[in-house]
Amino acid sequence: QVTAKTAFLFILPQYNVSVPTADGELVQYHYGLKDLVTILFYIFIAIILHAVVQEYALDKINRRLHLSKVKHSKFNESGQLVAFHLTSVIWCLYVVVTEGYISNPRSLWENYPHVYLPYHVKFFYLCQLAYWLHALPELYFQKVRKEEIPRQLRCIALYLLHIAGAYLLNLTRLGLILLLLQYLAEFFFHMARLVYFTDENNEKLFNVWAVVFVVTRLFTLTLYILVIGFGLPRVESQALDPERGNFFSFLFNNILFRMSVLLLVCLFQASVMWRFIHFQLRRWREYWNEQSSRKRAAATAGTKQQSKLLKRDSGYHENGVVKAENGTSPRTKKLKSP
């Protein structure tokens, strides 16, 4: 029985509370230090799943494709992230639909702070934190190139900051919607990379990703303005109360602070869109350069073919004597006098 309690500490979310409702009592959860033990356990689970996907799926495909070292590393990265993002999108969509966060946008800020969480919401956040923390030792296990490490560390840090911030500051509902939008765009991007590595002439999924990326950025910006600009300032409890989990809703009642936060959000989204536009312009420029080089190569091949045909029509030289196509001399023979 003692070992069972210890096992539950690692496997199941802790800090369950019975919350009274109109229909009776509902078991919900809040966070605490014991969550670190649960996250540690699921870090090892994530490492095992990572190895399974690598061994039984990605390595087998890599043997058939015969990719270079650079493409091999990118293929493994995109393959792992496609599996993770697809699972997370389905799981996150199930949670937000079940909890009614999409059908009722007011629930994103109503009754803030959202201290008590349903079981599947808390478990989702614990698994997300475990996955992105497991990505740190995977940089060593996967032998990632040194020039790729800063980019991946920056990506991992941003995800951890967003997920942990939403979890600790009781903004889990807003965090779920933002993760759903982000993971959806990332899934199409890495899926497009996988298809491109298998067939370099197939770039259609990059166009799909471009549309999804722009749409998700617009939804993300709209959601920030809706929640920060109009939702949180209308929360009933505007006083600082860390014990109840109300950390900063009183700050959003100050219009100067609210506008500053919205300005920072808009600048960040603008920088993301600028990098996206720069990437698309570079991609189109490479595409048109490739097309023009192909046209020049085709024109050069046509010119060479035409010159060969002209040489055949005019005969060719052999040992300094012009020969006809059938090998006879083009000069007319003199008739001998009888």
Confidence at 245, pLDDT banded by 50, 70, 90: low
Contacts of 262 (CB under 8 A, 6+ apart): 224, 225, 228, 229
Q: What is the pLDDT of residue 37?
A: 93
* Position 153 pLDDT exceeds 50: yes
Mean pLDDT calculated for residue range 69-85 = 90
Q: Is 319 left (phi over 0), alpha (psi -120 to 50) or beta?
A: left
Pairwise pLDDT comparison (256 vs 330), residue with the higher score: 256
- Long-range contacts (CB closer than 8 Å, 24 or more residues apart) made by 26-35: 27/119, 28/116, 28/117, 28/118, 28/119, 29/116, 29/117, 29/118, 29/119, 29/122, 30/115, 30/116, 30/117, 30/245, 31/122, 31/167, 31/168, 34/9, 35/126
> By residue range, what is the domain housing residue 23?
1-202
Q: What is the pLDDT of residue 309?
A: 63
Residue type, 237: S
Residue 248 falls inside a structural domain? no
Pairwise pLDDT comparison (299 vs 35), residue with the higher score: 35
Measured from the Cβ of residue 241, the count of other Cβ atoms closer than 10 Å reads 13
Residue 49 falls inside a structural domain? yes
Q: What is the pLDDT of residue 98?
A: 92
- Rounded Cα distance, 240 and 313, in Å: 94
Average pLDDT across the chain, whole number = 83
Measured from the Cβ of residue 14, the count of other Cβ atoms closer than 10 Å reads 18
User: Picking from 94-103, 141-150, 157-166, 251-260, which range would have the lowest pLDDT averaged per residue?
Assistant: 251-260
Residue 3 falls inside a structural domain? yes
- Residue 228 contacts residue 174 (beta carbons within 8 Å): no
Residue type, 245: G
User: Picking from 107-111, 255-259, 300-304, which range would have the lowest pLDDT averaged per residue?
Assistant: 300-304
Strand blocks (E) in the chain: 16-21, 24-29, 316-318, 321-323
Beta bridge partners of 322: 317
What is the tens place of the pLDDT at every residue in 252-286?
666 777 788 888 888 988 888 898 888 888 878 87
Q: How many domains is the chain partitioned into structurally?
A: 1
Q: Can you spell out the DSSP letters for 260-278?
A: HHHHHHHHHHHHHHHHHHH
* DSSP category for residue 318: E
Residue 261 falls inside a structural domain? no
Residue 135 falls inside a structural domain? yes
Size of the chain in residues: 338
Residue 247 falls inside a structural domain? no
- Rounded Cα distance, 281 and 41, in Å: 44
Residue 57 falls inside a structural domain? yes
Burial label, 213 (beta-carbon count in 10 A; 0-12, 13-18, 19+): buried
- Rounded Cα distance, 313 and 324, in Å: 8
What is the tens place of the pLDDT at every residue in 163-176?
998 998 888 999 99
What is the tens place of the pLDDT at every residue in 314-323?
554 445 454 5
Beta-strand relationship, 16-21 and 24-29: antiparallel
- Rounded Cα distance, 200 and 75, in Å: 13
- Rounded Cα distance, 327 and 27, in Å: 99
What is the tens place of the pLDDT at every residue in 192-225?
999 988 887 777 888 899 999 999 999 999 998 8
- Residue 113 contacts residue 245 (beta carbons within 8 Å): yes
Mean pLDDT calculated for residue range 293-312 = 71
Q: What percent of the chain has pLDDT over 70?
A: 83
